[in-house]
Amino acid sequence: MCGIIGYIGDKDATPILLNGIKKLEYRGYDSWGLAIIQDEIGLVKSTGKISEAKLDPLELEGRIGIAHTRWATHGGVTNENAHPHISCRKEIAIVHNGIIENYQEIKESLLDEGHCFTSQTDSEVIAHLLERYYHKSKDIKEALLATVKKIKGNFAFLAIFQDEPNMIVGARKDSPLVLGLGKDEIFLASDVLSFIEHTDKVVFLDNLEIAMVKKGSLRIFDFKGKEVQKGITQVAWEASDVSKKEFAHYTLKEIYEQYSSIKSSLYQDPVKLREFCKSIKEAKKLFITASGTSFHAGLVARYIFSKISKVYCEAILASEFSQIIEWVDKDAVIMAISQSGETADVLNAIKGAKEKGAKILSIVNVMNSTLDRESDLAFYLNCGPEIGVAATKSFTAQLTLIYLLAFAMANDFIGVNKLRKLNDYVEFILKEEDKIIEIADKYKVSNDFYFIGRSIHYPIALEGALKLKELSYIHAEGMAAGELKHGTLALIDSKTPVVVLNPEDNTYYETLSNALEMKARGAKIIGVSNLINEVYDDFILLPKIEDSLYPIIEVMPLQILAYHIAIDRGADVDRPRNLAKSVTVK
């Protein structure tokens, strides 16, 4: 899952492309590169982060170019494997996001034809295939259609041709590709954020489409070569949404944005809400599917729909969804949850479910994302773009929306009003930051961390552990408190910090006894509750709120704890190693 961008216009392309891939870095950041149309195709690429790039833009002056930021899937992090990849005669350069599943067999046939490969990547076959077909037909459209027919897997790629210096072409299958229409300039990119400061007029390429872009002209065809007319969408996001403002990191900014994002996630279309409730009520089976943090929101939904709406449902990891597909049919409803709306496992799960006739309801943050466009009904989080790789504000917005749907299904308007008041408690939590910074400093050298909770607190224990793992690289495990005695208790000793989620609700005393069991084995207990207790070595105070609503509030101290431990350990919190914001490969 890489980030790609192309520019064609009157301005100097290099600074625009560099800035664009900087904005796309959350999709992958182990190496980068760009290619510019000059007398010949000018190329520069390097391992490491763009922000550390030492590039003399004059070296690569031009009006048309493509660029890439990489998240390695095939081939290590080397200059050779960085994109753009170039054809043997150096006349065609390409950048690619996705995975070419049949690249080895293609590579063998190209090697037999005498093509020379310079990388271990799957992507490089695209440059050589375009070269093979272009030299046969001398027709770029034909070469493009022949190439997309040949490759299997998921891809979005851009290409420039020395023979056609006024054109950029692109193709999309399962990986996102959008076009930005500016004044006398056109952008082609993995997402809107990379060019939002230039234009908010966007054309979303659908699956199995190619784009042929010349200055002032844009033509789109399907993979059969038939021309397709597309509408222009004005996107709601602005350039200021993608700035860090006064914060040191996007992650911290997005944690603090929860003061407004929880409220804005409640602004939902009542007609859609009614349609959602009706679909759920009529469904014979309800499956929730998602990945990572969004799956933790799905686990909370399972508890809340059961408790508040008296609706039974199953929450299935998107990567495991194919294992239960035989239970999905036209009477089933799938609720898919995804911040990016581009997570390949989730798209794959709903693709299978749609083929079985199921209805797809989704909760997404990115409008016009693939999941949004593939759904029968989509709810938006309204929390603005989330740049930090670790999901924070999108999670609490997902939870708030899930509670709103649960209360709506139960016609519980008191519950909805309680949701509206939640904001007051966000400030309470954010004020605890200094206290949490002290705790972070105390435990920053730990090698292992446990998070425990019962009932609706269990998914939050999972989320707390995930945040700590992905931000600080400390091994952390979230678990249902009742499971400790069945094995994990063996790992507990005097060096083990354990975060105990224990607000004053019907799980309070059972969880307290679990904390005492661990304390008896020397564990350091960090209590997260509205009630202090001597069992806690350290304590993070929560406000006293409606029992069922605690997940939305109690996760924030865990986000702040993970953030500060990561900072103390010198980690790059916005770009954790080996991760990417949107996982567009299976």
Piece of the chain touching ligand AGP by CB under 6 A; list 10-18, 335-343, 372-380, 487-495:
335-343
Of the two residues 191 and 432, which places its CB atom closer to ligand AGP in the complex?
Answer: 191
Residue choice 3, 33, 292, 527 for contact with ligand AGP (CB under 6 A): 292
Of the two residues 194 and 291, which places its CB atom closer to ligand AGP in the complex?
Answer: 291
- DSSP β-bridge partners for residue 178: 189, 204
Min. distance of Cβ 580 from ligand AGP in angstroms? 8
Question: What is the rounded distance in angstroms from the CA atom of residue 138 to the CA atom of residue 140?
Answer: 7
Asked if 343 interacts with ligand AGP (CB under 6 A), we say yes
| 174 DSSP 8-state letter | B
Question: What is the rounded distance in angstroms from the CA atom of residue 492 to the CA atom of residue 474?
Answer: 16
Residue choice 374, 470, 554, 574 for contact with ligand AGP (CB under 6 A): 470
Min. distance of Cβ 343 from ligand AGP in angstroms? 3
* Active-site pick, 45, 173, 263, 581: 581
In one-letter notation, the amino acid at residue 484 is L
* Active-site pick, 2, 277, 313, 383: 2
Asked if 390 interacts with ligand AGP (CB under 6 A), we say yes
User: 557: cis peptide before it, omega within 30°?
Assistant: no
The verdict on whether 2 is a catalytic residue reads yes
528, 432 Cβ separation under 8 angstroms: no
478, 293 Cβ separation under 8 angstroms: no
Of the two residues 31 and 293, which places its CB atom closer to ligand AGP in the complex?
Answer: 293
Asked if 558 interacts with ligand AGP (CB under 6 A), we say no
Question: What is the rounded distance in angstroms from the CA atom of residue 173 to the CA atom of residue 372?
Answer: 16
Q: Residue 46: how many CA atoms within 13 Å on its side-chain side?
A: 10
> Which position's Cβ is nearest ligand AGP?
292
Asked if 389 interacts with ligand AGP (CB under 6 A), we say yes
Of the two residues 14 and 582, which places its CB atom closer to ligand AGP in the complex?
Answer: 582
3-state DSSP helix/strand/coil percent for the chain, to nearest 5?
A: 40, 25, 35
Min. distance of Cβ 467 from ligand AGP in angstroms? 7
Min. distance of Cβ 341 from ligand AGP in angstroms? 7
Question: What is the rounded distance in angstroms from the CA atom of residue 496 to the CA atom of residue 494?
Answer: 6
Min. distance of Cβ 541 from ligand AGP in angstroms? 25
Residue choice 391, 512, 540, 567 for contact with ligand AGP (CB under 6 A): 391
Piece of the chain touching ligand AGP by CB under 6 A; list 308-316, 388-396, 419-427, 476-484:
388-396
Which residues, 203 to 262, sit near ligand AGP by CB under 6 A? none
Piece of the chain touching ligand AGP by CB under 6 A; list 5-13, 386-394, 421-429, 532-540:
386-394
- Three-class SS of residue 354? helix
Q: What angle do CA 258, 263, 265 make, to 5 degrees?
A: 90
Which residues, 565 to 584, sit near ligand AGP by CB under 6 A? 582-583
Min. distance of Cβ 292 from ligand AGP in angstroms? 2
Q: Which residue has the tokens 């890439």?
A: 68
Q: Which residue has the tokens 């995930």?
A: 466
Asked if 159 interacts with ligand AGP (CB under 6 A), we say no
Question: What is the rounded distance in angstroms from the CA atom of residue 68 to the CA atom of residue 51?
Answer: 14
Min. distance of Cβ 19 from ligand AGP in angstroms? 23
Residue choice 97, 121, 190, 339 for contact with ligand AGP (CB under 6 A): 339
Of the two residues 94 and 367, which places its CB atom closer to ligand AGP in the complex?
Answer: 367
Piece of the chain touching ligand AGP by CB under 6 A; list 46-54, 142-150, 290-298, 484-492:
290-298
Binding mask 40-79 for ligand AGP (x = CB under 6 A): ----------------------------------------
Asked if 265 interacts with ligand AGP (CB under 6 A), we say no
Residue choice 87, 294, 368, 472 for contact with ligand AGP (CB under 6 A): 294
Which residues, 501 to 540, sit near ligand AGP by CB under 6 A? none
Question: What is the rounded distance in angstroms from the CA atom of residue 428 to the CA atom of residue 261?
Answer: 16
- 175 phi and psi angles, rounded to 5 deg: -95, 145
- DSSP β-bridge partners for residue 44: 34
Question: What is the rounded distance in angstroms from the CA atom of residue 562 to the CA atom of residue 388?
Answer: 13
The verdict on whether 230 is a catalytic residue reads no
What is the b/e burial string over 500-510, where b = at least 16 CB atoms within 10 angstroms of the residue's CB?
Answer: bbbbebebbee
Question: What is the rounded distance in angstroms from the CA atom of residue 335 to the CA atom of residue 179?
Answer: 29
**Element spanning 424, H or E:** helix 423-430
* Sequence-ordered alpha helix ranges (H) in 138-257: 140-150, 250-256
Q: Which residue has the tokens 């997309």?
A: 148
**What token pair was written down for 1?**
């899952």
- 197 phi and psi angles, rounded to 5 deg: -75, -15
Of the two residues 127 and 335, which places its CB atom closer to ligand AGP in the complex?
Answer: 335
How crowded is residue 203: how many other Cβ atoms within 10 Å of its Cβ? 18
Of the two residues 63 and 70, which places its CB atom closer to ligand AGP in the complex?
Answer: 70
Q: How many residues contact ligand AGP, by CB under 6 A? A: 15
- DSSP β-bridge partners for residue 234: 201
Residue choice 340, 382, 511, 559 for contact with ligand AGP (CB under 6 A): 340
Question: What is the rounded distance in angstroms from the CA atom of residue 430 to the CA atom of residue 259?
Answer: 9
Of the two residues 25 and 91, which places its CB atom closer to ligand AGP in the complex?
Answer: 25
Active-site annotation, residues = 2, 581
Binding site for ligand AGP (CB under 6 A): 291-294, 338-340, 343, 346, 389-391, 470, 582-583
